[in-house]
């Protein structure tokens, strides 16, 4: 029986985290995998808010759509900052519960890939899964010329790099989407997932 596996990917915005995650999922041999991000809960709540006030249009005004999310990022940042000011672990706690629910749905080999690991506390909360037999893999990705989007991102990713053991670390040149995706496929095979 394969242990449940959580793959946490960190790096600056636009460094290729989602592309690497896509490659890992494409290369995974297990049929039981989930792409789950800490911010999924925030985006869902933001969409629910917009629906409640009559502004939500799926695909046009939807925080799961990259263009809309980029244009309205300040709302997500402010809402996330507000929620974390009340409970710093709010999104990490929700994430872990979702991982536990996914593992309960399948008996063998669930793989959860997270491409938006941004804070030390997220890792610390997720480590609680180890007591339930989870294997946690940490990955950092960098792309030359991509720096922190803002001071807060620089500080949070810097803290991860200093405080958390990174299992795998990759650095790519710009415009390497195909190479990043291929590396993700290789990682899945290397990890035996």
139 CB contacts (<8 Å, ≥6 apart)?
7, 8, 9, 10, 20, 166, 167, 168, 169, 170, 187
Quote the distance between the C-alpha of residue 106 and its chain's center.
Answer: 21
For residue 136, the 8-state DSSP code is E
Quick one: tokens of 67? 């263009």
Q: Is the pLDDT of residue 93 over 90?
A: yes
Confidence of residue 174 (pLDDT cuts 50, 70, 90): very high
Query: At what angle are helices 40-52 and 90-105 packed, to 10 degrees?
Result: 100
Q: Which residues pair with 171 in a beta bridge?
A: 142
pLDDT at 107 over 70: no
Q: How many CB atoms lie within 10 A of CB 62?
A: 17
Contact status, residue 132 vs residue 2, Cβ threshold 8 Å:
no
Residue 22 CB partners (closer than 8 Å, separation 6+)? 181, 184
Question: In this predicted model, which residue has the larger pLDDT, 64 or 167?
Answer: 167
Number of domains in the chain: 1
Of 8, 2, 58, 1, nearest to 38 by C-alpha is 8
Vertex 85 angle, CA 83 and 86, to 5°: 70
- Return the CATH number at 30: 3.40.50.300
Q: Is the pLDDT reported for residue 60 higher than 90?
A: no
| Domain, as residue range, for 108 | 5-191
Cα dihedral 188, 189, 192, 193 in deg (nearest 10): 40
Q: How many percent of the chain have pLDDT more than 70?
A: 99
Whole-prediction pTM value? 0.92
**Which tokens in the block code for residue 184?**
């993700």
DSSP 57: B
Confirm if 129 and 136 have CB atoms less than 8 A apart.
yes
Mean pLDDT calculated for residue range 110-114: 94
């Amino acid at each position: 029986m394969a242990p449940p596996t959580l793959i946490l990917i960190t790096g600056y915005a636009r460094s290729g985290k989602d592309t690497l995650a896509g490659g890992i999922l494409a290369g995974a041999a297990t049929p039981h995998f989930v792409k789950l991000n800490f911010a999924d809960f925030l985006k869902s709540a933001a969409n629910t808010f917009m629906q409640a006030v009559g502004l939500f249009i799926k695909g046009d005004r939807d925080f799961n759509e990259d263009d809309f999310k980029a244009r309205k990022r300040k709302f997500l940042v402010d809402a996330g900052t507000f929620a974390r000011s009340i409970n710093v672990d709010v999104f990490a706690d929700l994430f872990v519960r979702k991982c536990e629910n996914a593992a309960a749905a399948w008996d063998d080999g669930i793989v959860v890939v997270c491409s938006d690991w941004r804070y030390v506390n997220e890792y610390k909360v997720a480590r609680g899964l180890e007591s339930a037999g989870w294997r946690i893999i940490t990955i950092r990705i960098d792309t030359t010329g991509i720096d922190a989007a803002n001071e807060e991102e620089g500080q949070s990713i810097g803290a991860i790099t200093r405080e958390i053991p990174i299992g795998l670390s990759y650095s790519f040149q710009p415009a390497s989407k195909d190479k990043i995706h291929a590396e993700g496929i290789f990682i899945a095979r290397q990890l035996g997932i």
